[in-house]
Structure 1
Amino acid sequence: MPAREPLAPRPAWTRLSTTEDDWDTADGDLLLRLLGHAVWIRAFEEYVLELAGQGLVHGPAHSSVGQEGGAVGSILPLRSDDLVNGSHRGHHQFLAKAFGHVTTPVPGRLPELTTDVRTVLRRTLAEICGLADGYCGGRGGSMHLQWREAGAMGTNAIVGGGVPQAAGFAWN
């Protein structure tokens, strides 16, 4: 019979929550951009999973469903010349960076699904599906998304693999 030992976290846990005052003072235009980009990423990820379920993604489809907010919130303030690399499940990080590169905020409105945004979605999907129109010519697949002009230096297939990549990009 296995031995059981109850575990407890050593550091104190902290709950973060918003107040009515936080929502009253929040920048509405920023919230619209965050929402728009997060919804685009979620819809994209669900479509990738649908295609993978039909056997149309030749290779892994490492979904980041549920992680859209973290990517959009952390990447939205960056410029195109700010370099980021992604994690093991990095579609959301790549798309958030690419959207920031091709979109222009319009006060009081959700971001528009422009031709440039549609091109990002099409080329990202092409890469994941192994098609030549992808950002890496279809050779990178789901785990190796890269678009230097947008500052998206690449996702990778190794958990924690972005750390040495980031160190290398810093020398660039």
Structure 2
Amino acid sequence: MDVCNVHERCLSAPPGRVGALLDSLAGEDDRLWPHGWPPMAFDRPLGEGATGGHGPVRYKVVAYVPGTWVRFAFAAPRGFDGFHEYAVLTADDGRTLLRHTLAMRARGAARFSWRLFWGPLHDACLEDSLDRAELGCGGEVARPARHGWYVRALLRIAARGGAAER
């Protein structure tokens, strides 16, 4: 099963300011990764070759252009073959677009676990991340992400199993 999942937010801030959020990923002052989720952490500072992930989702930084783009190749869970990335782009209206893209082929049991577990959690986590970026750039979030009953239930289940904290 092929998965292409995109989350993006137009931000009223110059690209350099949004890029600084990107560059803070997994650092001591991470201003992009959302609170309440397993933290993003690597074996070294953000840069090509760094390995780590968040919770049971593991990956390696395979490309990094400071302030502009970072791509992570999946190492786990089993059956996730592909990548996810953040990109800082210029929107048509001159604002800055922060985009997260996940592109992968889900194989084996991952075809089902993506649909039932990982996908809904991924969507919620990414919307929380974009809320964090919007807050960091403008001081307020126009439409904060809301987690439905299913995602809240998954978070409770994952927290008991150590996969997520809320």
Give your verdict on TM over 0.5. no
Q: Which has the higher contact order (CA 8 A, sep 6+)?
A: 2
Greater helix fraction, Structure 1 or Structure 2? 1
TM-score (norm 2): 0.27
Bigger Rg, which one:
1
Kindly indicate which of the two structures has a greater share of residues assigned to strand: 2
Task: Provide the TM-score with structure 1 as the length reference.
Answer: 0.27
